[in-house]
Structure 1
Amino acid sequence: MEEVIKRYTPFVIKTARSIYVKGQEVEDLIQIGQASIIKAVNMYDTERENAFTTYVFNTIRRTLYLLIRSSVKDAKCCSLNTSNNEGCELIDVLAGDEDIEEEMIKKEEKAMLAKALRKLNEQEKEIIYWFYFEKRSLREYASLKGIYYKTAGDRKKKALRKLKKCLEGMDFNGNI
């Protein structure tokens, strides 16, 4: 029996160190695991299909996991209404789905973009609005205004350069 216990004690130690049971020290868990080895030896059926080693490992795990389950008697310890060390309930300190910081950054970037757009002249505002907000083509814009397509493209590029310069002056960090 001592030889069997020595052979499986490293597994017991590894398993005992990997779990936490409230009120139990690692040494206690090791002793419980070693007792489960004795139990496995006494209960093993030699006519079983699975190997003795597998049976011992499973017995050790089941014994320690049963100990974990039995130690969680008070469901309040797992409640979101439990208070932490600072007196706040856990439900109040959990992170929400919304990212407030990201929302504030987007709001600030929109405000900077609106301010930069106000610095454009009417023709520049018109082409930016046409292309980016209405999502219409430059070809349509050129046809409507009676100008060449290349001229419409040049207007758009000029408006974007001016917009970019304004945004860079405001330390805009978003995508332009």
Structure 2
Amino acid sequence: MEEIIKKYTPFVIRTARSIYVKGQETEDLIQIGKASIIKAVNMYDTERENAFTTYVFNTVRRTLYLLIRSSVKDAKCCSLQSLNNEGFELIEALAGEEDIEEDMIKKEEKAMLANALRKLNEQEKEIIYWFYFENRRLGDYANLKGICYKAAGDRKKKALMKLKKCLEGMNFNGSI
């Protein structure tokens, strides 16, 4: 029996170190694992298809995992209305649906975009607003202004390049 326990002790140690059970030291877990090796030796059926090593590994794991499950069941349940160390209810500490940091980043990006749009001339602003903010067709813009479609496309491209340079100058790296 000592030889068998000695052979499987490294596995027990590795497994015991990889788990945490409240109130149990690693040495305690190792002893429980060794005891489960003895249990496996006594309960192993030689007529089984499983190898003895597999049976021992599974027995050790199951014993330690059962210990984890039982320690979790013993944990005291608490209410969301319970007070934490600072005196606040736990429900207040839970994260909300809104992401304040993400909202602040978006506000900054929008402010940068508005600032960059102010640097465009009237003709450039007009085509950007027409196409992107009002979601209208470029062909309709060309007809309204009495210019060809290609000229409208060139205006849009020029305005976008200027806008991009302004945003890069502000270290804008968002995706509005």
Asked if Structure 1 and Structure 2 have the same fold, meaning a TM-score greater than 0.5 normalized by the shorter chain, the answer is: yes
What is the aligned partner in structure 2 of residue 45 from structure 1? Answer: 45
Equivalent residues of 1:116, 1:167 under 8 A apart: yes
Distance 1:6 1:120, change over 3 A: closer
Query: Unaligned regions of 5+ residues in structure 1, if any?
Result: none
Question: Structure 1 residues 120 and 13 mapped into 2: Cα distance closer, same or farther (>3 Å)?
Answer: closer
In the TM superposition, residue 12 of structure 1 has moved relative to its aligned partner by: 1.0
Asked if 1:28 is matched to 2:39, the reply is: no
Structure 2 unmatched ranges of 5 or more? none
- 1:13 is displaced (CA, Å) by 1.0
2:6 — aligned with what?
Answer: 6
Whether the 8 Å CA contact 1:76–1:82 is kept in 2: the answer is no
SS in 2 for 1:21: coil
Distance change (3 Å), C-alpha of 1:70 and 1:119: closer
Q: 2:45, 2:38 → 1: CA distance?
A: 14
Q: Letter of the aligned partner of 2:32 in structure 1?
A: I
Residue identity opposite 2:131 in structure 1: F
Structure 2 counterpart of 1:144: 144
Q: What TM-score comes out, normalization by structure 1 length?
A: 0.78
Which deviates more from structure 2 when the two are superposed, residues 92-101 or residues 129-138? Answer: 92-101
Tell me how far 1:34 sits from its aligned partner. 1.1
Percent of residue pairs bearing the same amino acid type: 83
Q: Helix, strand or coil for the counterpart of 1:147?
A: coil
What is the root-mean-square deviation in Å for CA atoms of aligned residues?
3.0
**Deviation of residue 17 (structure 1)?**
1.0
Cα distance in 2, alignment partners of residues 58 and 162 from structure 1: 67
What is the CA-CA distance between 1:154 and the residue it aligns to?
Answer: 3.5
Alignment CA distance shift 1:169-1:61 (3 Å): closer
Matched positions, count: 175
- Once residues 56 and 82 of structure 2 are traced to their aligned partners in structure 1, the CA distance between those partners, rounded to angstroms, is 38
Shift of 1:18: 1.0
Q: Which moved more, 1:136-145 or 1:151-160?
A: 151-160
**1:67 match:** 67
Give the alignment's TM-score, normalised by structure 2: 0.78
Q: Does the 8 Å CA contact 1:21/1:67 hold for their aligned counterparts?
A: yes
* Per-residue Cα deviation, 1:124-173 (whole angstroms, up to 9, x for no partner): 33211111123333332212221123332343244335544554565544
CA separation of 1:25/1:119 partners in 2, compared to 1, >3 Å: closer, same or farther?
closer
Cα deviation 1:67-89 (Å, max 9, x = unaligned): 22222312338x76777666666
- 1:15 Cα offset (Å): 1.0
**Counterpart residue type for residue 101 of structure 1:** E
